[in-house]
Chains A and B, each alone.
Chain A
Amino acid sequence: MRKYLFIIKTQIMSNLQYVFNIVFGFIGYFIMLFILFNLWKYLYSDQSELINGYTMTQMTWYVIVTEILWMSLGGRKLCNKISKDVRSGNITYNINKPYNYIGYCLSTHLGDIFVKGLIYTFLGMLTGLLFLKSFPDLTLVNIIVVLITSILATSISALIIIAIGLISFFIEDSGPFYWVYSKIILVLGTIFPIEYFPNIIQKILNYSPVYVVSYGPAKLFVDFSWDKAISIVLAQIIYILIAYSICYFIYKKGVKRINVNGG
């Protein structure tokens, strides 16, 4: 475990050099948020109106949190990196090292996005306060629980994307799989909470990755309850085990197919 923590630390130190780039990249996040804020303003006739159990303020905060989680994740970069490692044969430099390749990818990526996540969280909260001039009613303990679920959500997302990237062992370009995954998360979990969908779809979504990678932390942020918090954390732990097992299975199957010619 210590070696993975060391990798995370190294990546954080390295990323501190690019704070300006990260802050500039926040503009993309701001644009998306601005569009969605306008959309909710158009849909809600007044601030107190309830649509599917959410006020306009709650919906805006929900989107702020889910967008922070998604946009600081850098999923496309992670998927491309693994896909490129596999296609170029670079992966051979990693498989003979005294660490697990999946653990290495996960810790490198978590280290990579740590600074970005912190900056996006700070600027995202600031944007929310600017738009809404209010903050959800949360205690310090509640905020810590939301942070824990956010870290777990990010880890699950990263593991799922690693699994998608590892598909490159079998199909050269795993990028298209990532596009569809990202759109599903975006539509079913980032823009809308699960309650916006018909009952039958809600039941499916409650067991899907959407529940643990985006809905969970955002729901707790806008409407905290201990019952919900416990069920979300439990679901996240189960999902981490499932996602890691899938990564391990694809990796073990795929690594046997490596055929590197010289280099």
Chain B
Amino acid sequence: MLTAVKNQLKVTGLSIKYALVREFLNKATFLSNIIFMILNNSCMIIQWIVLFSIKDDMGGYTFKQVLLLWGISAGTYGVSRFFFKKAFELSETINSGKLDAYIVQPKNILLSTITSDIQVSAIGDMLFAFIVYFIYGFNITTFILFIFFCVTGGLMLTAISIILNSLSFWFNNADMVSDVGNSLMVNFATYPDGIFKGITKWLLFTLVPVGIANYIPIKILIEFNPYLLIINISVCLLLTLLAFVIFYKGLRRYSSSNLMSARI
């Protein structure tokens, strides 16, 4: 069992490594993708400078705390898109019958599929997350927690995308549903939860778990709370498990499109 897990992790690591090497062939494009993504994210700081010139407090967040929220959002986004890019294109893979190439491999089908490619610009997102974190203020405990929350948040984003994209096993237009789900997760993640009230706030901590992936980590980083940490880890594990269950349940309905393809 342990050897199987070790082997799977090794294959996943190699898959990501080769994807990275492939992308690095064109150095100019590779670097411009990363640098421009950092610039792209930095532009949004202007928005918050303007907003904080109107009011000192944004839903209970100070300017530095909003920056930290941006760091967590960029970090979770970066982790999910860099390591599991194909989880966000799973619907297309299922609909076009491209799963065949992964099914024939003696490895975990879901992991092999979603780690088969990387999004280079996501490196820019991860770097931006660290830059913003260091502006917020370095401390070894919060630094470890920050990295940990980027990983759990990234896993949650990926799991939600897998769950929604796996609906393609049952419905034709599931990609549209997953687009909406992904944009809900990304758009809400960069605004403080204090500006939302009532049912919206409730939804953000339940059905659309932006609160668990992004807001709870901020609260823990500001003031450590073990209960909130347990909630974050539990929801992350639950969503990951659910993603595997739904994907493999749907996989039973998958039928090949007889498409000839090879992974080189």
Contact = CB atoms under 8 A, between A and B. Distances in A.
A21 B26 contact: no
Contacts of A38: 191, 195-197, 200
A147 B44 CA distance: 29
A43 interface: yes
Contacts of B32: 171, 173, 176
Contacts of A173: 29, 32-33
Given A39-B195, A172-B26, A172-B28, A187 B47 contact: yes
B222 interface: no
A31 B40 contact: no
B201 to A, nearest CB: 10
A35 B43 contact: no
A184 B47 CA distance: 10
Nearest to B41: A183
Contacts of B5: none
B202 to A, nearest CB: 14
Interface in A179-214: 179-180, 183-184, 186-188, 191-192, 196-197
Q: Which interface residue of B33, B36, B55, B197 has the most chain A CB atoms within 10 A?
A: B36
Interface in A48-94: 51
Interface in B10-50: 26, 28-29, 32-33, 35-37, 39-40, 43-44, 46-47, 50
Interface in B193-233: 194-197, 200
A32 interface: yes
Given A35-B188, A192-B50, A196-B50, A28 B183 contact: yes
B26 to A, nearest CB: 6
A122 B162 CA distance: 33
Interface string A139-167: 00000000000000000000000000000
A27 B50 contact: no
B89 interface: no
Given A173-B33, A176-B121, A177-B36, A183 B54 contact: no
Contacts of B238: none
Interface residues of B, number: 35
A43 B54 contact: yes
A115 to B, nearest CB: 17
Contacts of A41: 195
A192 B51 CA distance: 10
B44 A187 contact: yes
A176 B37 contact: yes
A180 B39 contact: yes
A35 B191 contact: yes
Contact of A42 (B33, B36, B44, B59): B59
Interface in A25-41: 25, 27-28, 31-32, 34-35, 38-39, 41
B184 interface: yes
A29 to B, nearest CB: 10
A142 to B, nearest CB: 28
B55 to A, nearest CB: 6
A39 B121 contact: no
Contact of A35 (B28, B39, B187): B187
A179 B179 CA distance: 19
Nearest to A30: B180
B33 A31 contact: no
A179 B59 CA distance: 28
A34 B199 CA distance: 13
Contacts of B179: 25, 28
B180 A180 contact: no
B259 interface: no
A179 to B, nearest CB: 4
B245 interface: no
B46 A180 contact: no
Given A39-B191, A197-B50, 15 more contacts: A32-B187, A38-B191, A43-B54, A43-B55, A171-B29, A173-B29, A176-B37, A176-B121, A180-B43, A187-B43, A187-B44, A187-B46, A187-B47, A188-B46, A191-B47
